[in-house]
Amino acid sequence: MCIFCKIINQEITCDRVYEDEKTLAFLDIRPVNPGHTLVIPKRHYQNLEEISPEDLKDLILTVKKVGAILKEKLGAPGYNVCENNDPVAGQDIPHIHFHVIPRQTNDSLRPWPQKEYAAGEAEEILKKLTA
């Protein structure tokens, strides 16, 4: 059983921010910024491809609620939403989850370095994606 399933089953404690019948949101134990919250479905799915459309809808609606809570209660002017899909993308726990990270002006967080395509590379990628 994965660690998030143990949290859902209350075998492991967490700092619950929000909970309903199908989802749970709790503070990340290693936050990027104070208030960094994880949002998970109560049903186990490993990644975005596995989750049912219905459970994904419930999950993203909870992400939206948590974002609003962070803005209202912490005074965060904005937040990042991130889902690391599979280990190569940084998914450490094999249970789909969204990170909702409150942002403050001048918090110095730059999520991703940006790159440029080499000449002709975008066209080649587009051909593969639309073939």
Which residues are known catalytic residues?
97
**CB 32, CB 84: distance < 8 Å:** no
The DSSP bridge pattern shows strands 98-103 and 23-27 to be unpaired
φ/ψ of 9, rounded to 5, equals -80, 5
Instruction: State the number of CA atoms in the 13 A half-sphere of 28 facing the CB.
Output: 18
Q: How far apart are CA 59 and CA 100, in angstroms?
A: 12
Nearest to residue 83, comparing CAs of 97, 101, 104? 97
